[in-house]
Amino acid sequence: MFRRQKKIEEGLTRTRQSFFSRIGAIIGRGEAGPEVWENLEELLIQADVGVQTTIELVEKVRARAAKEKLRDAASIQQALQQEMVAILTAPAARHAAGFTPGLEVILVVGVNGVGKTTSIAKLARYYQNQNKVPILAAADTFRAAAGEQLAIWGQRVGAVVIGGTQSGGDPAAVVFDAIQAAQARKADVLIVDTAGRLHTKFNLMEELKKIKRVAERQVPGAPHQVLLVIDATTGQNALAQARQFTAAADVTGIILTKLDGTAKGGIAFAITKELGLPIRFVGTGEKIDDLDEFNAQEFVQALFE
């Protein structure tokens, strides 16, 4: 836990230095009058927390300050942190990832360029560290060399990769073969790479539905998780893409990548609030072990350290 907290703190260094380190100074300017709350709103919006999320967040803290008679900066900042944690934890209960007996099937979705393939490899390593055997399915048959790229990462982590020998194939057929292989090898987890871009939203939805039907026929309850990869550095632009995938794929959680590469880590709040989805994992670096379970308390604490 200490190691994970340290990595999160390091990953959020730019965000903390650019924005959140200034919150104490804003709140500490005497009486918490209208100017303080306006400045706080402006800072949070600049940090990519999102306009609507920021307004609701500041209003809750402002109401608590009045009701609980919070006067000093430390008390107000503590209330702010508590409300931020509440935002990040709210969707978790609605999308709980419970224990899955037998083979667990995970679909990984997201637009090209967000770090989807590397996130799949890191996810495989995460399960290996839990003494589980992962198998990867190269079901992105639309992007040239997607299968080869996944195969390279599979070799690096020591995970078997099914499919990916040629582009233009049927993704659902790859998933069918991958499930057969995973069951024969008694694997614990099957992680499926899916297409990052199809010609139309309709095509995307239909392809994902087909994959899900094939998976469900072979494994009860599959897919057990649908994880959407979002690049933290793209900020608010990522939300429009995320909404499309959320509608198409019944997304159950988020993998937030490249957190160490952005000065606007506030996007985590906009994602959970506006999409109503929990962040499951965060990418904090380029190494194969730089993917960690998301912990709201640790995340908010790291923003203010």
3 state SS for the chain: CHHHHHHHHHHCHHHHHHCHHHHHHHHCCCCCCHHHHHHHHHHHHHCCCCHHHHHHHHHHHHHHHHHCCCCCHHHHHHHHHHHHHHHHHHHHHCCCCCCCCCCEEEEEECCCCCCHHHHHHHHHHHHHCCCCCEEEEECCCCCCCHHHHHHHHHHHHCCEEECCCCCCCCHHHHHHHHHHHHHHCCCCEEEEECCCCCCCHHHHHHHHHHHHHHHHHHCCCCCCEEEEEEEHHHCCHHHHHHHHHHHHHCCCEEEEECHHHCCCCCHHHHHHHHHCCCEEEEECCCCCCCEEECCHHHHHHHHHC
Q: How confident is the model at residue 265 (pLDDT cuts 50, 70, 90)?
A: confident
Residue 237: predicted pLDDT: 79
Instruction: Look at the pTM and tell me if it is higher than 0.85.
Output: yes
> How does pLDDT run across 76-99, given as a tens digit for each residue?
999 999 999 999 999 876 666 666
pLDDT exceeds cutoff 60 at 161: yes
Round to whole Å and give the CA distance between 138 and 193. Answer: 5
> How does pLDDT run across 181-236, given as a tens digit for each residue?
999 999 999 999 998 875 566 787 788 889 999 999 999 999 999 999 999 888 87
pLDDT exceeds cutoff 60 at 30: no
pLDDT exceeds cutoff 90 at 24: no
Residue 271: closest CA among 302, 298, 240: 240
Q: How confident is the model at residue 63 (pLDDT cuts 50, 70, 90)?
A: very high
pLDDT exceeds cutoff 80 at 305: no
> How does pLDDT run across 238-247, given as a tens digit for each residue?
787 778 778 7
Average pLDDT of every residue of the chain = 89
> How does pLDDT run across 98-145, given as a tens digit for each residue?
666 799 999 999 888 889 999 999 999 999 999 999 999 999 988 878
Residue 86: closest CA among 63, 60, 111: 60
